[in-house]
Amino acid sequence: MDLKALEAMIRDVPDFPKPGILFKDITPLLQDGAAFAAVIDLFAERYRDRGIEQVVGVEARGFVFAAALAKTIGAGLALVRKPGKLPYQTISERYALEYGTDCLELHEDAFAQHQRALIVDDLLATGGTAAATAALVEKAGGQVVEIAFLIELAFLQGRQRLAQYPVQSWLVY
């Protein structure tokens, strides 16, 4: 399945989660077994031989891609979540939003020193979540090899916020 076919499966939902936002809904793609497999294959082809030891899934849609990819390339899986969702001792990272701040957490023992990590999420918008995730990985002792997204909203310039890391996205709007 090629990128145009995958892109055609992504549904635009206007005014979600609030007026003025055009949400890129990946659920039709996930519901199609061949399409979902094709996305995981895209990721796996790029990362299979890159020495990735941990795939980091970002809550919540990033979990879907990260778990399948980790299994496919034989890596571990680390989860980055909103505060209070992880059961063990955590480290946290606050980051700025357009109005206010938010916070993400990671288990403090998620990485061995210098363990090679790939951060995976469904969509790159402003880059705040990805930048906070990268900071958490590094605080925990991991080394960010790359940050990967299925979709990038280039007009929001999130890639610039992640300039110190290699970034990969397959569908750019």
Number of domains comprising the chain: 1
CATH of the domain at 159: 3.40.50.2020
Find all residues with CB under 8 Å of 93, minimum gap 6, and list them. 103, 104, 105, 132, 133, 135, 136, 139
11 falls within a domain: no
Q: What pLDDT, on a 0 to 100 scale, did the predictor assign at position 23? A: 95
Q: What pLDDT, on a 0 to 100 scale, did the predictor assign at position 99? A: 73
25 falls within a domain: no
77 falls within a domain: yes
Q: What pLDDT, on a 0 to 100 scale, did the predictor assign at position 32? A: 98
Mean pLDDT by 10 residues, the chain (173 residues): 97 95 96 98 98 97 98 98 97 87 96 97 96 98 98 97 98 97
Alpha-carbon distance of 137 to 13, in angstroms, equals 32
Which residues form the catalytic set? 61, 98
Q: What pLDDT, on a 0 to 100 scale, did the predictor assign at position 97? A: 78
Q: What pLDDT, on a 0 to 100 scale, did the predictor assign at position 123? A: 97
Alpha-carbon distance of 5 to 8, in angstroms, equals 5
23 falls within a domain: no
Range of the domain at 118: 49-172
The pTM is what? 0.96
Which amino acid, residue 106? L
